[in-house]
Amino acid sequence: MKLLFLFALLIGGFNHVATAQAPAEAIASKIADKMTDSLSLTQAERDQIYTVNMNLHEQKMKMRAVYQDPIQLGPQLQKIENTRDSLYGGVLSAEKFQLYRQKKRSLVNNN
């Protein structure tokens, strides 16, 4: 009986992680696809942008686990978000990065 309970608990934990990850993957993919269309990214650039977005999500999730108070959490999430441009700058050429900066609001927002 205890083994069955432990197994159910373990499966439930995996489902929770998978459920939390699925929307993040969809958003990261959507941003990468929008940037690919708007900036004419190569497949390698698109994949790197997707990875950057997933890494940002993971960092934000870690902060959510540490900071339960929204007043403390907000600035921590903003610090992470403020690294987005420098991370993208490491992936994109100077020309594509300049175009990204011009179109940033429409590319990064989840619309």
Distances from the Cα of 30 to the Cα of 64, 84, 88, 93, angstroms: 23, 16, 15, 21
Asked if pLDDT for residue 110 goes beyond 90, the answer is no
- Residues 6 or more apart in contact with residue 1 via CB below 8 angstroms: none
- For position 107, what pLDDT does the model report? 87
Q: Kind and range of the H or E element at 54?
A: helix 43-66
- Residues 51-96 have pLDDT tens digits of 999 999 999 999 999 999 999 999 999 999 999 999 999 999 999 9
Buried b (16+ CB within 10 A) or exposed e, 67-79: eeeeeeeeebbee
Answer whether residue 6 shows pLDDT above 50.
Answer: no
